[in-house]
Structure 1
């Protein structure tokens, strides 16, 4: 499956590898098959990627770049929790549309070899959760909430990919369970009046607001306050 969209040999090789991966998995994406599909000589592939593992690492990075582009196109609304739902669903749709590529991205982690685009995508999730925190609706510190969302979202996709029969309720049920655990409802949800934030939500909100740098505190005072806020936001043992 030779790409005609670009004259860049590196891009052609990655697009060809993605096509072969989708058709037959990692075994189908041999260096010989990829070079032939991309219309390049084997030495060109080895010069650009080193070996098959180098090609697969680059292909995972290519997948994260495509995912990041989709996330950036999603945009933002004035409801960060609704945006969190939309981001979850986009993640699931991305993975189910490209199962082999998704498994390469998330199912075969290599410590110390995380692509920059993967870090950028995770940073976008943290930024969104900071918006939830500033709105006074986050129950956990941003790092803990981000790890929880990523673990559950990734686990749901990998489970669906591995399942012989698709469970259409798995993702939305998991999503809502996670959101219920990490966010507080707004006053407009289910017709309920807004309730005052709990101690954890208030601590998380103040921690997020401190990022604006407007508090009249010295750096040591800010660090000490943050330590207290993180203790207040931590779930009780």
Structure 2
């Protein structure tokens, strides 16, 4: 895959311009964008940049990080607090994401989205109020392992770190999770599934695959 250097601001603007011109694949009124990658890839920062660029184009945007959709500690830590397979398969409440985020944005949906679901610090439901995303609005969801669940995405971005960069940029106390990302690469091949791949080994000088505008 050929990658070209780009700045984060130019990248976000290019993705926003492309998204703004898309029609939702399901024929509904809402566009769904995902920024996939390990926590060390700082997907939330790119998601917010894209959201700002879209708002600058007059679109309503709701950002939803999957870190707000963790399962209760009793389920996450069933096999211990540092089990890579549990992290990959059981930490994130994909059922709640489907029910509270994607289902309301299906054709004929209410547009009433829950921005977060579970507080991992207090280990209880966040009780956050629902947010209404008007028709024509854009959902931007970010976090790890997003491309392995068949979410109904109109634009998917995978922020990739090489194994060496991922290890360097992951804190020592979190490195137990690295095998989960290696498994994700092997089993899901996110770089092949994503519409756009961003290489972020150098956090100040990203490179990207460009957009298929055919």
TM-score, reference length from structure 1: 0.25
Question: Which of these two proteins has the greater Rg computed from alpha carbons?
Answer: 1
Looking at secondary structure, tell me which structure has more strand per residue. 2
